[in-house]
């Protein structure tokens, strides 16, 4: 397998190199600087993800369950600190026919995070994404999925998280009793809550607690994470889909600098989500892992007021 970093300055066959133009205006120095930043980001990401894991798994922080988090993490996990925003949204939807309430905290938290950084939380802070990253490291070859599959996330958001709980709630079925719901189908719930409680139940002699359906779902998810990079994030995550909608206008964003581009296509080659980074980078399929920034032409930036 070739190493893209070694070839990063080589222009693609048949295309003129722009490296010469860059060197004339000090571009090589800037590109080296950009590449160094990219490599630093690449190295630090697992540590940042581990640090955030400490925040989401703080057992002393269970009193924070009254505040929705901004990442996909089951609130039934014995160590969870914040409330799962997806579960909270589904609960609000189910409660709507009985007691309509405005989810100010949930909407506020999500708006702040999304407008500040888009889907940066997916790539750098989400514990479930981190887990999928770790599982993905066990296998080298990954299947590629077409970009349109990312739209399934919005069907999950509208169908499973909002409409279905709302309709069943209107029929008088409360969320906890709904046999089909996002929480009953969620692999994060199976892994972070179902598994620990089932293991504890097994150890204390009360047998396997989790349903066979959910256990099978967990096995299928782990298998999928070995074959596809971040399958949940890419195909089903309603929260990731929602945050990524703000990638086009968030203060933190990725900027393309044509002066730094030597057409090596390292950016697109390194993107684990299959985003066509060589065309547009602030798109809804991106989890902002910043792997594409390794080449130096894609640069993480904060928007600033003009003047």
Partner 1 sequence: MQKRVTQPPVNPALRPTERHDFWTGFAIILIGLVLVVCGARHLTSIETVEGGTAWETQLVKAFSAGGLQFPEQLRPPPPPKSNDPAALEQWAKQNSQYSAPTWKVRVDAGASAPCPT
**Interacting positions 197-216 with partner 1 (CB under 8 A):** 197
Does residue 255 interact with partner 1 by CB under 8 A? yes
Residue with tokens 């039934």: 76
Q: Determine which residue in the list 132, 269, 285, 287 makes contact with partner 1, applying CB under 8 A.
A: 269
Residue 24 binds to partner 1 (criterion: CB under 8 A): no
Is position 264 an interface residue for partner 1 (rule: CB under 8 A)?
A: yes
Q: Is 247 in contact with 122 (CB distance < 8 Å)?
A: no
Q: How far apart are CA 144 and CA 279, in angstroms?
A: 18
Report, in Å, the least distance between residue 231 CB and partner 1.
Answer: 17
Q: Which is nearer to partner 1, 169 or 241 (CB)?
A: 169
Minimum distance of partner 1 from residue 14's CB (angstroms): 8
Name which of 66 and 205 has its Cβ closer to partner 1.
Answer: 66
Nearest-approach distance from CB 259 to partner 1, in angstroms: 8
Q: Which of residues 61-90 bind partner 1 (CB under 8 A)?
A: 65-68, 75-76, 78, 83-84, 87-88
Paired with 83 in beta bridges are: 68
Nearest to 125 by CA among 239, 236, 248: 239
Q: Which of residues 27-46 bind partner 1 (CB under 8 A)?
A: none
Closer by beta carbon to partner 1, 111 or else 199: 111
Output the CA angle 161-163-164, nearest 5 degrees.
75
Q: Applying CB under 8 A, which of residues 30, 39, 42, 184 lies at the interface with partner 1?
A: 184
Among residue numbers 101 through 120, which ones bind partner 1 (CB under 8 A)? 101-116
Options 25-33, 146-154, 233-241, 245-253: segment touching partner 1 (CB under 8 A): 245-253
Residues 119-158 that bind partner 1 (CB under 8 A): none
Residues 6+ apart with CB under 8 A from 157: 238, 241, 242
Stretch that binds partner 1, among 29-37, 45-53, 159-167, 177-185 (CB under 8 A): 177-185
Q: Which segment (30-38, 157-165, 181-189, 230-238) binds partner 1 by CB under 8 A?
A: 181-189
Q: By C-beta, is 40 or 259 nearer to partner 1?
A: 259
Q: Residue 59: which residues within 8 A CB-CB, separation 6 or more?
A: 78, 79
Q: Which of 116, 168, 139 is nearest to 288 (CA)?
A: 116
Q: Name every residue whose Cβ is closer than 8 Å to that of residue 297 and which is 6 or more positions away in sequence.
A: 31, 34, 256, 257, 258, 260, 261, 262, 267
In angstroms, the CA 154 to CA 270 distance is 26
Binders of partner 1 among 270-289, rule CB under 8 A? 270-272, 278-282
Q: Of the ranges 10-18, 27-35, 120-128, 236-244, which one interacts with partner 1 (CB under 8 A)?
A: 10-18
Select the residue interacting with partner 1 from 32, 50, 176, 208 (CB under 8 A): 176
Q: Shortest gap between Cβ of 13 and partner 1 (angstroms)?
A: 8
CB of 68 to partner 1, least distance (A): 6
> Which one of 188, 239, 254, 284 is in contact with partner 1 (CB under 8 A)?
254
């Amino acid at each position: 397998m070739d190493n893209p970093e070694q070839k990063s300055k080589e222009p693609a066959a048949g295309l003129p190199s722009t490296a010469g133009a860059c060197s004339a205006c000090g571009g090589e120095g800037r590109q080296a600087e950009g590449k160094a930043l990219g490599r630093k980001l690449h190295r630090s990401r697992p540590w940042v993800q581990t640090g955030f894991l400490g925040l989401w798994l703080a057992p002393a922080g269970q009193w924070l369950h009254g505040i929705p988090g901004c990442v996909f993490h089951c609130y039934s996990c014995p160590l969870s600190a914040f409330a799962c925003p997806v579960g909270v949204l589904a609960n609000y939807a189910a409660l709507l026919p009985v007691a309509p309430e405005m989810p100010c905290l949930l909407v506020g938290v999500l708006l702040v995070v999304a407008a500040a950084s888009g889907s940066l939380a997916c790539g750098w802070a989400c514990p479930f994404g981190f887990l999928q990253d770790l599982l993905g490291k066990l296998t080298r070859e990954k299947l590629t999925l077409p970009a349109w599959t990312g739209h399934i996330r919005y069907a999950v958001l509208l169908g499973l998280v909002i409409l279905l709980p709302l309709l069943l709630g209107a029929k008088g079925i409360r969320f906890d009793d709904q046999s089909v719901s996002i929480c009953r189908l969620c692999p994060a719930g199976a892994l972070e809550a179902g598994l620990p409680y089932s293991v504890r139940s097994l150890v204390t002699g009360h047998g396997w607690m989790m349903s066979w359906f959910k256990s099978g779902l967990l096995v299928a998810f782990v298998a999928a994470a070995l074959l596809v990079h971040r399958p949940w994030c890419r195909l089903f995550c309603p929260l990731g889909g929602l945050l990524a909608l703000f990638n086009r206008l968030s203060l933190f964003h990725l900027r393309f600098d044509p002066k730094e581009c030597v057409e090596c296509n390292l950016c697109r080659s390194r993107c684990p989500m299959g985003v066509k980074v060589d065309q547009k980078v602030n798109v809804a399929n991106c989890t902002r892992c910043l792997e594409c920034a390794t080449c130096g032409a894609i640069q993480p930036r904060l928007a600033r007021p003009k003047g």
